[in-house]
Amino acid sequence: MKTIETEADVLNALKELRQIDKRLHPVIDLAGDVPIRRRAPGFEGLAEIVVSQQLSKASANAIWTRLLETVRPLDASRVLDAEDERLRSAGLSAGKVRTLRACANAERNGLDFDALADKHPDDAMTVLTAIKGIGPWTAEVYLLFCLGHPDIFPAGDLALQHAVRDALGLDERPGDKALREIASAWSPHRGVAARLFWRYYGVTRRRDAVPV
């Protein structure tokens, strides 16, 4: 599959999504420009997503900025060398310190986070979620924004669940399983569909909920 690399890739996928599901016409029209928001692959990109877990955008950005100032450059080796107190001083919880160390150890033991782009997404998900502290949401967001995978939809994301409920007029907010079933109709462009609904959420609720 061709990865999402440019704004043109997003626009082309949106055109195809219009053909796939007519319910998306008003969503696309209201959302307006859908940004690509790619991040660099590798340890630092994954670390940024770990920091953003279960936090508001503002809080995550503040902690991420402090972490970059505390550990320079932010790489696996320096994270492993840093004392817990130093990492916690940036605002990281004890759990996120453990997760970052687990990611760093995985890289030290030979895992190439960049190379996951060459794997089937199911295989890449298996590799990532084997790291303690990395759940499906974190793995999917990494594949989506750092590796540009075109067909990933983080159905466990609350903003996406709310956005799909509002946009499609559903009676209830779909849970992870239900949203995955809904999103299956948007394959092979679920990555752009996710971006679309995050953008829709931002426009309708005036709150940026994109995790990176």
Question: CATH class for domain 7-37+152-205?
Answer: mainly alpha
Q: Is the pLDDT of residue 209 over 90?
A: no
51 in Cβ contact with 96 (< 8 Å): yes
pLDDT > 90 fraction of the chain, expressed in percent and rounded:
90
Max intra-chain CA distance, the chain: 53
Q: Is the pLDDT of residue 14 over 80?
A: yes
131 in Cβ contact with 109 (< 8 Å): no
User: CA torsion sign, 208 to 86 to 133 to 191?
Assistant: positive
User: What is the identity of the amino acid at 122?
Assistant: D
Distances (CA, A) of 150 to 9, 49, 63, 99, 165: 9, 18, 29, 26, 22
Q: Encode pLDDT of 148-199 as tens digits.
A: 999 999 999 999 999 999 999 999 999 999 999 999 999 999 999 999 999 9
* Tokens read off for 45: 């990109």
Comparing 76 with 57, the larger pLDDT belongs to 76
Distance CA 61, CA 27 (A): 28
Tell me, rounded to whole angstroms, the distance of Cα 68 from its chain centroid. 19
Distance CA 158, CA 160 (A): 5
Mean pLDDT of 32-44: 93
Q: Encode pLDDT of 121-132 as tens digits.
A: 899 999 999 999
Distance CA 68, CA 72 (A): 6
Q: Is the pLDDT of residue 1 over 80?
A: no
Residue 57 — very low, low, confident or very high, per pLDDT cuts 50/70/90? confident
DSSP state of 89: T
Q: Is the pLDDT of residue 55 over 90?
A: no
Distances (CA, A) of 155 to 7, 78, 146: 23, 33, 18
**Residues ≥6 apart with Cβ < 8 Å to 177:** 155
Task: Provide the residue ranges of all domains of the chain, joining segments of one domain with +.
Answer: 7-37+152-205, 43-146
Residue 42: what pLDDT?
A: 95
Mean pLDDT of 83-103: 96
- At the second CATH level, the architecture of 43-146 is Orthogonal Bundle (1.10)
191 in Cβ contact with 150 (< 8 Å): yes
- How far apart are the two ends of the chain, measured CA to CA in Å? 23
